[in-house]
Amino acid sequence: MKLNDKGLLIVLSGPSGVGKSTVRKALFNKKGHDLVYSISMTTRTPRAGEVDGVDYYFVDKPTFEKRIKEGKFLEWAEFVGNYYGTPKDKVEEQLSKGHEVVLEIEVAGALQVRNQMPDAVFIFIVPPGKQALYARLKIRDTEPDSIIQERIEKANREFLLAHKYDYIVVNDDVNNAADRIMNIIRAEHAKTERTIHQYMKMLGE
Ligand code: 5GP
């Protein structure tokens, strides 16, 4: 019996190159969950194999800027020369239906969500060491060295923001990291502050 039927907002974040999207995909491949991924909007050019409406909604800068002005993002950030943002309406719609909504976003955006939705669960994904992260970023041959260098410098600043999160998950192994996140989600559902209302109602019956 579940004492908390409300959907949780789960924010997966961490420096670029820690393997956030691989961990998120492994999480979604697990059986028996009710997770919905919030597809972000970006002005970045699609990488080979990326599909519009699946990996991201790819739009141009004027379209993105218009949506910022209209207040259509739960959060947005500029990241290494491109905009990235979470469409607000979709997140609200899924949460109201009781689904768990997962955001996979960079650090500045996660901190904006923290201010707006303190009830959300904030998970910081980190590599098993800094060298592992540098190696991952360098393997991506889709980007010029200057961009990779910028991502590394940004990651070094972001490492220091772990204390702003509820949980830290080390991505030493993708499957283990996804398991740890699933366990966190389950434990969050059982938290007294999320269950006490329903529990008291049950006692009164
Ligand atoms: P990439 O270009 O590698 O796909 O993404 C760059 C960074 O932007 C990653 O850290 C990714 O998690 C983050 N990101 C993706 N979508 C969003 C979003 O909607 N908002 C924010 N703030 N960051 C995002």
The C-alpha atoms of residue 10 and residue 68 are separated, in whole angstroms, by 22
* Nearest protein CA to atom 5 of ligand 1, as residue: 16
* pLDDT over threshold 90, residue 205: no
The C-alpha atoms of residue 32 and residue 55 are separated, in whole angstroms, by 22
Mutate to test the pocket of ligand 1, among 79, 115, 143 (most ligand atoms within 8 A of CB): 79
Burial 42-52 (b: 16+ CB within 10 A, else e): bbeeeeeeeee
The C-alpha atoms of residue 148 and residue 80 are separated, in whole angstroms, by 9
pTM greater than the 0.75 cutoff: yes
> What does the pLDDT look like over 23-46, one tens digit per residue?
999 999 998 888 999 999 999 999
For ligand 1, say whether the CB of 67 is within 6 Å of any of its atoms.
no
> What does the pLDDT look like over 96-152, one tens digit per residue?
888 899 999 999 999 999 999 989 999 999 999 888 888 877 776 667 888 888 888
Give the distance from CA 155 to its chain's centroid.
16
* Nearest protein CA to atom 12 of ligand 1, as residue: 105
- How many angstroms is it from 181 CA to the middle of ligand 1? 19
For ligand 1, say whether the CB of 84 is within 6 Å of any of its atoms.
yes
Which of 8, 13, 41, 1 lies closest to 122 in space, CA to CA?
13
Question: What is the pLDDT, as a whole number, of residue 130?
Answer: 82
- How many angstroms is it from 198 CA to the middle of ligand 1? 36
- Beta bridge pairs of residue 87: 73
